[in-house]
Amino acid sequence: MFNLKKESFVEDRLSDGKYIEDLSMMSPKYLDGIKKILTVSADTELMSAPAYYLAAKDAPTTNAFISAMGIIQDELGHAHIAYRLMEDLGVDKEEFIYDRDPKSFRYPYAFDVPLLTWTELAVANAFYDRAGFVLLDDVFDNTTFGPWKRALVKVGKEEGFHLRHGETWMKKLSKDVDGRKSLQKALDWMFPLTVEWFGLPDSLKTQNIQLEYGFKGQSNDQLRQTWMSTAVPLAESLGLKVPAHYCENEKKYVLEFPFPSKFDASEKKWLFEEGEIPWIEPNADGYSVMKRWRNRGEMNDEFVTILQKGHKQVCEMLERE
């Protein structure tokens, strides 16, 4: 077993403004924290691939399909980068990806709701990839884990392309009435889902090792604001109605719906009329956001099965030989 360093070693190194480069510089707490945030990043990138592929099949032209496949290929590459970093931290990469239970994958609930149309893919690129971009840009600016920061140079450029793909297609689709209608329909369920993407509000975060150890720089609520500061103007510039606005008095974006809310995933519909629901402890109806996240959604099992199937088949074939 590798001898990890004491907390004081990590703290001294960070206060000197130096990066943590490998296991030999980590304390158990730092190792545990960096593995957690890398897991979320890797799993999110990986699960976006089957989620986007489902909608890519609705591409209007061959070139559009190639664009979507380019994005999917990028996402798999980003997942590989994060899993590869975890391998250097003692994680068995193959077992971690191919033998894990679907429910233990750590990625935003949004990818469990099927994207079925090209319009939904465009909005996903413009909203979900923007969320990923905001999160990873913050990690790039603030992380204390050197190898991740260097790897994110490539990731950031590619995520920028995904964003632009989403924006370009949203602009194209918004030029006629039917296109704008389909965009509005997608925005209505995808906007609140992306607002939720950034996790628990700061008021409910009891300890925040991610900030303390500089795995990231902005809090969940700050990241949510950063995301809205570009997502809202984009949608408004296309004539779409967005359930959020910038409040001059509060100097921040304010949501115009109860947050968090109950979501009917099968209908892709938010039940705003039922009012705000709890984040953690279920209410009298047994509903909370955390419970929905933990139960995962419709596509979780199917997507993980798709990703693990090929590996299982090859292993079985090799065993037979």
Partner 1 sequence: MIQDPKERTLREEELYQALHDVQDAEFDIDVVDMGLIYGVHFDGKKQNVIVDMTFTSMSCPALDFMSDDVIERLMTEKDVKDVSINVVWDPPWNQNMLSEEGVNVLNDWGVIKWE
Binding site residues, partner 1, CB under 8 A = 61, 63-64, 66-71, 153, 157-158, 160-161, 164-165, 168-169, 172
Residue matched to tokens 């030029």: 175
CB of 27 to partner 1, least distance (A): 31
Q: Nearer to partner 1 by C-beta: 1 or 153?
A: 153
d(CA 20, CA 16) in angstroms, rounded, equals 11
Q: Nearer to partner 1 by C-beta: 63 or 249?
A: 63
Task: Confirm if 220 and 203 have CB atoms less than 8 A apart.
Answer: no
CB of 133 to partner 1, least distance (A): 13
CB of 57 to partner 1, least distance (A): 16
CB of 233 to partner 1, least distance (A): 19
CB of 64 to partner 1, least distance (A): 6
Q: Nearer to partner 1 by C-beta: 26 or 163?
A: 163
Of 125, 114, 276, the closest CA to residue 201 belongs to 276
CB of 165 to partner 1, least distance (A): 7
Helix boundaries (H) for the chain: 7-15, 28-56, 62-87, 93-98, 118-142, 146-173, 177-197, 209-212, 220-237, 289-295, 300-320
CB of 63 to partner 1, least distance (A): 4
Q: Nearer to partner 1 by C-beta: 153 or 177?
A: 153
Task: Confirm if 13 and 37 have CB atoms less than 8 A apart.
Answer: no
Q: Nearer to partner 1 by C-beta: 69 or 271?
A: 69
Of 161, 73, 68, the closest CA to residue 119 belongs to 68
Angle (CA) 123-127-129 rounded to 5° is 105
d(CA 260, CA 289) in angstroms, rounded, equals 7
Q: Nearer to partner 1 by C-beta: 169 or 213?
A: 169
Q: Nearer to partner 1 by C-beta: 171 or 291?
A: 171
Of 303, 302, 298, 304, the closest CA to residue 266 belongs to 298
